Amino acid sequence: MMSIYLIASAMAATSPATPADTAPGAAIEARAEALPIYNFDSFCRKLAGGDFEKDVKCGEQEGAAYAKLEEIWASVPEARKIECHNVAYDPDTGAGSYALHLRCIEKGK
């Protein structure tokens, strides 16, 4: 579980603030110039349903997806970034997924 928190901390320390930083339920307009900061830990916990190994694997997948998004972010059209942010982020819970965001972008190519 420690690796999930370390990934999240590292990402938060190196990424600029984004719409995901707003309060849950707040109206947001995604800023596509910066890679969003998602609370993927909540997403993974819910997805894992209490299974520690699934939670850890999810966190690792989120970290890998984040790294891939960093590589391709500048080449993704702004409209696609915003569309995929709306797919990957839940404003009601504050949870989000880099893996969902990446899949959305890849499907749009």
20: pLDDT strictly greater than 80: no
Q: pLDDT tens digits for 55-66? A: 999 999 999 999
What pLDDT is stored for residue 90 in this prediction? Answer: 93
Tokens 């520690």 -> residue:
52
What pLDDT is stored for residue 32 in this prediction? Answer: 55
DSSP symbols for 23-53 = PTT------TTS----BHHHHHHHHHTT-HH
- Contact call for residues 59 and 48 (beta carbons, < 8 A): no
Computed over every residue of the chain, the mean pLDDT equals 79
What pLDDT is stored for residue 85 in this prediction? Answer: 95
- Contact call for residues 108 and 74 (beta carbons, < 8 A): no
Distance CA 56, CA 67 (A): 17
Min mean pLDDT across 1-10, 27-36, 54-63 is at 1-10
- SS3 of 96, please? strand
Biggest CA–CA distance in the chain, Å, is 37
Backbone angles phi, psi at 6, to 5 degrees: -70, -40
What pLDDT is stored for residue 37 in this prediction? Answer: 92
